[in-house]
């Protein structure tokens, strides 16, 4: 995870339920940091790689050039070796960039719950939680699994999957994000901390079920398929 508040939460919970042991690697000590805590671990002995969200941006690599290129290399290594990769939000963007896609500032910032669609979408329409200012163009030859009016929301390239949405969120998890977000920033996007946390609670049961479906599909079809 890129910052201490960016853990895998529900995604980690369901991977543990499927028999995986979660090993968290924290890249930076906090959102105000730009330099890594240490080197990325070797992929030896790991069955899959989860690349999570971040407050940083792939469109501003110069701010995080002390580690972003090493992360891109790690993703390419995993993909080439056939080690399954799941990239979430910023993680989905880094994965796209690593494998020949691209990332740009999105014309619409999505904060809140959004429906997704697609004839190949394996996990249903949501709504899914979103909090992002950028969007990815998937790697060449990737299968686009889901979109909405604002962005591609999910893609697959072999054993690698990227999502723009955040399946992992819980109320406690998102509250750590809103606690760090200035009220003026949220208001500029028509949001508020209270509203965001309240809506996470309202969607909690449904999101629990749909994240389980996502991880079951990922393990059964992408990892073991």
What are the chain's domains?
9-223 (3.40.50.880)
pLDDT of residue 5: 76
Q: What is the pTM of this model?
A: 0.95
* Residue 225, C-beta contacts closer than 8 angstroms, at least 6 positions apart: none
Which residue stretches of the chain have pLDDT < 70? Answer: 32
Alpha-helical (H) ranges within 82-192 are: 90-98, 171-178, 183-187
Instruction: Determine phi and psi for 222, rounding to 5 degrees.
Output: -90, -50
From 50, 204, 212, select the one nearest 124 (Cα to Cα).
212
* Residues carrying an active site annotation: 89, 166, 168
∠ CA 105-68-183, rounded to 5°? 50
* Residue 216, C-beta contacts closer than 8 angstroms, at least 6 positions apart: 14, 18
pLDDT of residue 165: 98
CB atoms closer than 10 angstroms to residue 87: 27
């Amino acid at each position: 995870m890129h910052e201490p508040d960016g853990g895998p939460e529900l995604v980690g919970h369901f991977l543990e339920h499927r028999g995986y042991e979660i090993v968290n690697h924290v890249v930076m000590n906090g959102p105000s940091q730009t330099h890594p805590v240490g080197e990325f671990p070797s992929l030896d002995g790991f069955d899959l790689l989860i690349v999570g969200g971040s407050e940083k941006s792939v469109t501003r690599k110069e701010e995080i050039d002390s580690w972003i290129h090493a992360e891109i290399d790690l993703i390419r290594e995993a993909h080439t070796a056939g080690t399954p990769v799941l990239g979430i939000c910023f993680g989905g963007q880094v994965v796209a960039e690593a494998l020949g896609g691209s990332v740009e500032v999105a014309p619409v910032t999505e904060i809140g719950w959004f429906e997704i669609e697609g004839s190949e979408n394996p996990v249903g329409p949501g709504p899914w939680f979103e909090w992002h200012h950028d969007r990815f163009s998937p790697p060449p030859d990737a299968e686009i699994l889901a979109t909405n009016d604002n962005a591609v929301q999910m893609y697959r390239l072999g054993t690698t999957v990227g999502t723009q949405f955040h399946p992992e969120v819980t109320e406690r998890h998102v509250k750590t994000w809103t606690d760090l977000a200035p009220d003026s920033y949220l208001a500029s996007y028509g949001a508020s901390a209270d509203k965001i946390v309240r809506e996470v609670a309202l969607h909690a049961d449904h999101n629990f079920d749909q994240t389980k479906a996502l991880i079951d599909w990922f393990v059964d079809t992408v990892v073991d398929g």
